[in-house]
Amino acid sequence: MDDGKPKLLDQLRQQIRVRNYSIRTEAVYAEWVKRYIRFHHYRHPAEMGAVEIEAFLTHLAVKRDVSASTQNQALAGC
């Protein structure tokens, strides 16, 4: 069913372009959003909040051993 609303990643790309971010930033943020959604078993981000973001960032820090700057980048993409 098409409700006429752009898909999530299309909305993300539109907002990134409005803010004049680079194409590379757009690609990286889109990838972080995809990882976030996969981590939460394909739940829509509109159904999630701070608890899920914290769980994802904790996973990145503990299980994936990513740096603080990478975690900040992931947070910006969520």
32-66 per-position pLDDT tens digit:
999 999 999 999 999 999 999 989 988 988 888 88
Q: What is the mean pLDDT of residues 71-78?
A: 77
Whose CA is closest to 16, among 36, 35, 3, 31? 31
| Nearest one of 33, 55, 54 to 44, comparing CA atoms | 33
CATH architecture for the domain at 8-77: Orthogonal Bundle (1.10)
Which pLDDT score is estimated for 76?
80
pLDDT higher than threshold 90 for residue 68: no
What are the CA-CA distances from residue 25 to residues 2, 38, 49 (Å)?
A: 29, 20, 23
Whether 1 shows a pLDDT value over 60: the answer reads no
Q: What tokens were used for 16?
A: 């990134």
* Mean pLDDT along residues 19-25: 95
- Residue 77 clears pLDDT 80, i.e. is over it: no
Q: With contact defined as beta carbons under 8 Å apart, do 35 and 57 qualify?
A: no
CA 50, CA 40: separation in Å to the nearest integer?
A: 13
